Amino acid sequence: MTFKIIFYIIVMTLSTANQANSASEKKLPPCRDSPNCVSSQAQDAKHFIEPFKISGSPEEAWKALKKAIDNHSRMVITHETPDTLHAEATSLVFGFVDDINAILDTDKNIIQIRSASRTGHSDFGVNRKRIEALRSQLQKAHVIN
Protein backbone atom coordinates (compact mmCIF):
# COMPACT_ATOMS: atom_id res chain seq x y z
CA MET A 1 0.00 0.00 0.00
CA THR A 2 2.79 2.45 0.86
CA PHE A 3 4.43 1.81 -2.49
CA LYS A 4 1.20 2.73 -4.29
CA ILE A 5 0.93 6.00 -2.37
CA ILE A 6 4.54 6.95 -3.09
CA PHE A 7 4.12 5.99 -6.74
CA TYR A 8 0.94 8.10 -6.94
CA ILE A 9 2.71 11.13 -5.38
CA ILE A 10 5.60 10.84 -7.83
CA VAL A 11 3.28 10.56 -10.84
CA MET A 12 1.21 13.55 -9.70
CA THR A 13 4.33 15.65 -9.10
CA LEU A 14 5.72 14.86 -12.55
CA SER A 15 2.41 15.56 -14.31
CA THR A 16 2.07 18.90 -12.49
CA ALA A 17 5.59 19.90 -13.58
CA ASN A 18 4.76 19.02 -17.20
CA GLN A 19 1.59 21.11 -17.07
CA ALA A 20 3.53 24.10 -15.73
CA ASN A 21 6.12 23.78 -18.49
CA SER A 22 3.52 23.55 -21.24
CA ALA A 23 1.67 26.59 -19.89
CA SER A 24 4.86 28.66 -20.03
CA GLU A 25 5.49 27.78 -23.68
CA LYS A 26 4.48 30.70 -25.84
CA LYS A 27 3.11 29.28 -29.07
CA LEU A 28 0.82 30.84 -31.66
CA PRO A 29 -1.53 28.59 -33.65
CA PRO A 30 0.30 27.30 -36.73
CA CYS A 31 -0.53 28.58 -40.21
CA ARG A 32 -2.23 26.19 -42.62
CA ASP A 33 -0.71 25.54 -46.05
CA SER A 34 -2.80 28.28 -47.68
CA PRO A 35 -1.15 31.70 -48.20
CA ASN A 36 -3.75 33.59 -46.12
CA CYS A 37 -1.81 33.58 -42.84
CA VAL A 38 1.27 35.30 -41.42
CA SER A 39 2.96 34.44 -38.14
CA SER A 40 6.11 35.51 -36.35
CA GLN A 41 6.59 31.87 -35.36
CA ALA A 42 6.18 30.41 -38.86
CA GLN A 43 9.08 28.26 -40.01
CA ASP A 44 8.69 29.05 -43.72
CA ALA A 45 9.32 32.33 -45.56
CA LYS A 46 5.83 32.37 -47.14
CA HIS A 47 4.11 32.74 -43.76
CA PHE A 48 6.84 34.37 -41.65
CA ILE A 49 6.59 37.95 -40.43
CA GLU A 50 8.95 39.62 -37.95
CA PRO A 51 7.73 39.82 -34.35
CA PHE A 52 7.28 43.24 -32.76
CA LYS A 53 10.58 44.09 -31.03
CA ILE A 54 9.79 46.08 -27.90
CA SER A 55 11.94 49.17 -27.41
CA GLY A 56 10.83 50.18 -23.92
CA SER A 57 8.45 48.84 -21.34
CA PRO A 58 6.75 45.57 -22.35
CA GLU A 59 3.63 46.66 -20.46
CA GLU A 60 3.45 49.92 -22.43
CA ALA A 61 3.94 48.09 -25.73
CA TRP A 62 1.19 45.61 -24.81
CA LYS A 63 -1.14 48.44 -23.82
CA ALA A 64 -0.40 50.25 -27.10
CA LEU A 65 -1.15 47.10 -29.13
CA LYS A 66 -4.51 46.66 -27.40
CA LYS A 67 -5.30 50.35 -27.95
CA ALA A 68 -4.40 50.10 -31.67
CA ILE A 69 -6.73 47.12 -32.07
CA ASP A 70 -9.52 48.77 -30.05
CA ASN A 71 -9.26 51.96 -32.12
CA HIS A 72 -9.77 50.07 -35.38
CA SER A 73 -13.41 50.12 -36.43
CA ARG A 74 -13.51 46.51 -37.66
CA MET A 75 -11.31 44.83 -35.04
CA VAL A 76 -12.42 43.63 -31.63
CA ILE A 77 -10.52 41.86 -28.87
CA THR A 78 -12.51 38.74 -28.01
CA HIS A 79 -10.26 37.15 -25.39
CA GLU A 80 -7.25 38.29 -23.39
CA THR A 81 -5.02 37.29 -20.54
CA PRO A 82 -2.15 39.32 -19.07
CA ASP A 83 0.17 38.09 -21.85
CA THR A 84 -2.04 36.83 -24.71
CA LEU A 85 -4.85 38.19 -26.79
CA HIS A 86 -7.17 37.07 -29.54
CA ALA A 87 -8.95 39.57 -31.75
CA GLU A 88 -11.23 39.31 -34.75
CA ALA A 89 -11.02 41.53 -37.83
CA THR A 90 -14.07 41.72 -40.09
CA SER A 91 -13.68 42.64 -43.77
CA LEU A 92 -15.65 45.63 -45.00
CA VAL A 93 -17.30 44.20 -48.11
CA PHE A 94 -18.07 40.53 -47.48
CA GLY A 95 -17.81 40.41 -43.68
CA PHE A 96 -15.12 37.70 -43.64
CA VAL A 97 -13.61 37.22 -40.18
CA ASP A 98 -9.85 36.92 -39.68
CA ASP A 99 -8.17 35.94 -36.42
CA ILE A 100 -5.38 37.93 -34.80
CA ASN A 101 -3.32 36.34 -32.03
CA ALA A 102 -0.60 38.00 -29.99
CA ILE A 103 1.67 36.84 -27.19
CA LEU A 104 3.70 39.16 -24.98
CA ASP A 105 7.07 37.47 -24.44
CA THR A 106 8.82 39.52 -21.76
CA ASP A 107 11.74 37.04 -21.65
CA LYS A 108 12.68 37.92 -25.24
CA ASN A 109 11.22 41.48 -25.13
CA ILE A 110 9.01 40.85 -28.17
CA ILE A 111 5.39 40.47 -29.10
CA GLN A 112 4.72 37.35 -31.15
CA ILE A 113 1.97 38.09 -33.69
CA ARG A 114 -0.25 36.14 -36.09
CA SER A 115 -3.07 37.06 -38.46
CA ALA A 116 -5.00 34.45 -40.45
CA SER A 117 -8.13 34.18 -42.53
CA ARG A 118 -10.70 31.67 -41.34
CA THR A 119 -11.99 30.89 -44.82
CA GLY A 120 -10.76 30.88 -48.39
CA HIS A 121 -7.35 30.33 -49.85
CA SER A 122 -5.84 33.68 -50.79
CA ASP A 123 -6.23 36.91 -48.88
CA PHE A 124 -4.47 39.17 -51.43
CA GLY A 125 -1.93 40.05 -48.72
CA VAL A 126 -4.50 41.49 -46.30
CA ASN A 127 -3.18 39.68 -43.22
CA ARG A 128 0.42 40.78 -43.85
CA LYS A 129 -0.73 44.38 -44.49
CA ARG A 130 -2.78 44.32 -41.26
CA ILE A 131 0.21 43.28 -39.15
CA GLU A 132 2.49 45.80 -40.86
CA ALA A 133 -0.11 48.54 -40.22
CA LEU A 134 -0.17 47.59 -36.54
CA ARG A 135 3.65 47.59 -36.54
CA SER A 136 3.65 51.09 -38.02
CA GLN A 137 1.21 52.35 -35.36
CA LEU A 138 3.32 50.90 -32.55
CA GLN A 139 6.51 52.35 -34.06
CA LYS A 140 4.86 55.78 -34.20
CA ALA A 141 3.94 55.34 -30.52
CA HIS A 142 7.67 54.60 -29.89
CA VAL A 143 6.98 51.31 -28.10
CA ILE A 144 8.58 48.98 -30.68
CA ASN A 145 11.53 49.27 -33.07
Reported as a single tens digit per residue, the pLDDT across 120-145 is: 888 888 999 999 999 999 999 999 99
| Calpha distance 106→19 (Å, rounded) | 20
| Calpha distance 62→19 (Å, rounded) | 26
Average pLDDT, the chain: 86
Q: Evaluate the CA torsion angle 107, 110, 111, 117 in order and state its sign.
A: negative
| Calpha distance 85→93 (Å, rounded) | 25
Query: Can you give the pTM of this predicted structure?
Result: 0.79
Compute the average pLDDT of residues 60-79: 95
- Computed on alpha carbons and rounded to an integer, the radius of gyration of the chain in Å comes to 19
Q: Which fold is adopted by the domain 32-140?
A: TATA-Binding Protein (3.30.310)
